[in-house]
């Protein structure tokens, strides 16, 4: 924390305002899901599809090539957001086109998720249970694949009615085969009002003026920008990768930065105090 007093003040103010004023806005991949497990990288929702048995060897190679080309750009602290944005559109567009060529069946999604190595961060049950118990809305804003991430939280038995997701959703034809992804395209650096306009759910949240924001990317910082009257916001960031190079920027941007922490203990502790 760069400003522990600010953090304390925000937490106290949120407790005073109470649960009826609170909402949690969270990224999904590498924030609610784990970055590493058993010394290996955990998959993102895209990677779950990429690594699955329904993708041809040629498709797998092309998707991996895209990842190796664009991921270093995504996390490069020396490039501006303006530089990154068109390149992210390029990555998502090319990846979605490749996935749409693979004849992925809607009916296979649950099995693909079951067979994957995905893991949610330790403490996810407590997080979702606490929010559900106190009717606090949990808004998951993800540049990943909505159909996949919804299946992950469904299989984890935490897809409660207070959880709402805005993400990239697959579009299937009448026989249940993936043909394209629905608009608008959400990538790492357009997670803001530009893609939320018109989503009824987001408008409903305007009275929830205490916000806990969870993310792992510099692009996640704008996820709450559409909320018209924010009284108190606490931004908690997981710094997963390129830690030394990115620490300073993360400490400037997030109120709390978590390193080498595959748990949700910090947010659970704060919520236990507030709720």
Q: How far is the CB of 97 from Mg ion (least distance, A)?
A: 22
Q: Does 27 bind Mg ion (CB under 5 A)?
A: yes
Question: Active site residue: 29, 50, 147, 255, which one?
Answer: 29
C-alpha–C-alpha distance, residues 1 and 7, integer Å = 8
Q: Does 232 bind ligand TMP (CB under 6 A)?
A: no
The conformation of residue 173, written as its DSSP 8-state character, comes to -
Q: How far is the CB of 19 from ligand TMP (least distance, A)?
A: 26
Would you call 27 a catalytic residue per the annotation?
Answer: yes
Q: Does 62 bind ligand TMP (CB under 6 A)?
A: no
- Cα atoms found within 13 Å of the Cα of residue 246, Cβ hemisphere only: 22
3-class DSSP state for residue 122?
strand
Q: Does 30 bind ligand TMP (CB under 6 A)?
A: yes
Q: Which is nearer to ligand TMP, 144 or 226 (CB)?
A: 144
Q: Does 143 bind ligand TMP (CB under 6 A)?
A: yes
Task: Give the footprint of Mg ion on residues 199-258 (CB under 5 A).
Answer: 216
Q: Does 52 bind ligand TMP (CB under 6 A)?
A: no
Instruction: Classify strands 36-37 and 22-26 as parallel, antiparallel or unpaired.
Output: unpaired
Q: Which is nearer to Mg ion, 11 or 138 (CB)?
A: 138
Q: Does 29 bind Mg ion (CB under 5 A)?
A: yes
Largest CA distance in the chain: 57
C-alpha–C-alpha distance, residues 161 and 113, integer Å = 21
Q: Which of 48, 55, 91, 130 binds ligand TMP (CB under 6 A)?
A: 91
Token pair, residue 255, equals 């109120």
Would you call 29 a catalytic residue per the annotation?
Answer: yes
Task: Give the footprint of ligand TMP on residues 92-111 (CB under 6 A).
Answer: 92, 95
**Closest residue by Cα to residue 225 from 250, 248, 249, 206:** 206
Beta pairing partners, 233:
211
Q: How far is the CB of 76 from ligand TMP (least distance, A)?
A: 13
50 within 8 A of 63, measured Cβ to Cβ: yes
C-alpha–C-alpha distance, residues 28 and 215, integer Å = 8
> Which residues are designated catalytic?
27, 29
Q: Which residues bind ligand TMP (CB under 6 A)?
A: 27-30, 44, 46-47, 66-67, 74, 91-92, 95, 142-144, 188
């Amino acid at each position: 924390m760069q400003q522990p007093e600010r953090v304390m003040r925000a937490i106290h103010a949120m407790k005073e305002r109470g649960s009826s004023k609170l909402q949690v806005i969270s990224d999904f991949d590498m924030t609610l899901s784990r970055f590493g497990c058993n010394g290996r990288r955990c998959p993102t929702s895209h990677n779950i599809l990429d690594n699955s048995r329904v993708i041809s060897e040629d498709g797998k190679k092309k998707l991996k090539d895209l990842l190796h080309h664009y991921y270093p750009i995504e996390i490069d602290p020396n490039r501006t957001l303006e530089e990154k944005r068109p390149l992210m559109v390029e990555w998502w567009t090319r990846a979605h086109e490749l996935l749409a060529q693979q004849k992925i069946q809607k009916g296979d999604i649950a099995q693909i998720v079951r067979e994957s190595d995905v893991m949610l961060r330790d403490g996810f049950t407590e997080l979702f249970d606490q929010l559900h118990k106190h009717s606090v809305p949990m808004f998951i804003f993800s540049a990943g694949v909505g159909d996949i991430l919804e299946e992950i939280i469904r299989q984890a038995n935490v897809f409660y009615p207070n959880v709402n997701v805005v993400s990239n959703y697959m579009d299937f034809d009448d026989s249940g085969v993936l043909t394209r992804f629905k608009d608008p395209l959400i990538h790492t650096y357009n997670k803001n009002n530009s893609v939320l306009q018109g989503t009824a759910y987001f408008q409903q949240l305007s009275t929830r003026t205490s916000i806990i924001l969870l993310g792992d990317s510099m692009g996640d910082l704008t996820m709450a920008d559409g909320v018209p009257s924010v009284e108190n916001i606490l931004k908690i960031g997981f710094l997963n990768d390129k830690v030394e190079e990115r620490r300073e920027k993360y400490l400037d941007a997030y109120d709390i930065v978590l390193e080498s922490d595959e748990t949700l203990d910090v947010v659970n502790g704060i919520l236990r105090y507030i709720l």
